Amino acid sequence: MGLAQLIEAHKHEVLGRWKEMVRTLSDARKLSEASLEDHVPDLIDWLAARLRDRASTDDYGSQRLSRVHAFQRVGEDFDLVEVLAELAVLREVLLYLWIEEPAGVAPTEVLHLNQDLDDVVTVCTTEFARQVVTRYCGSPEAAQTLGP
C-alpha cells in the first residue's frame, strides 16, 4: 500500500486526530465543528491524489484550499502562528500514520508529501498576510506587493 492509499484508507482517523490536536490550540477552541474542518477533508483528498499521480493533479487545488483556509482564519481573528500550527499538526498526523504503517510506502512519497505541504504553507502564509494587510490597511494594492 502506497502513502496515497494509506491516507485514503485512514482519512477519517487522520481527520479525527487532527481535530483533537488542533482543539488544544487557543484560537481553535472557539470554532464550530464546521469552521474547524472547513477545507481539511478536501486538502487530505488533494494530497492523496497528488501523491498518486504527481503529473496530472492540478496544482491549483492546493492554492485554492490554502487561500480559503487563510481567508477564513483571518475572518475569525486567528494569529498566523495558529494557522501554521494547524498545518503543522496535519503534517504530524500524516507522518505518524506512515510511521505506524510503513510497509509499502516509498521514501520518495514521504518527501513528496512534505513538499506538497510546504507549498500549502507558503500559499497560506502569503494569502493570510495579504488578507491582513487588506483588512487593516484598507489597500488591496499594498497587499499585491506580497507576491502571487
pLDDT band at 29 (very low <50, low <70, confident <90, very high): confident
As a whole-number percent, the residues of the chain with pLDDT over 70 amount to 87
Show the CA angle centred on residue 72, arms to residues 71 and 78, nearest 5°: 95
All 3 cell numbers of residue 7?
Answer: 491516507
The domain spans of the chain are 3-144
Over range 27-56, report the average pLDDT. Answer: 83
- The confidence score (pLDDT) of residue 47 equals 92
- The architecture that CATH gives domain 3-144 is Orthogonal Bundle (1.10)
45 phi and psi angles, rounded to 5 deg: -60, -45
Tens of pLDDT, residue by residue over 75-114, are: 777 788 888 999 999 999 999 999 999 999 999 999 999 9
Least confident of 21-25, 68-72, 108-112, 114-118: 68-72
Of 128, 30, 22, give the one whose Cα is nearest residue 72.
128
Question: Is-contact 66 127, C-beta < 8 A?
Answer: yes
Left if phi > 0, otherwise alpha if psi is -120 to 50, otherwise beta: which for 9?
alpha
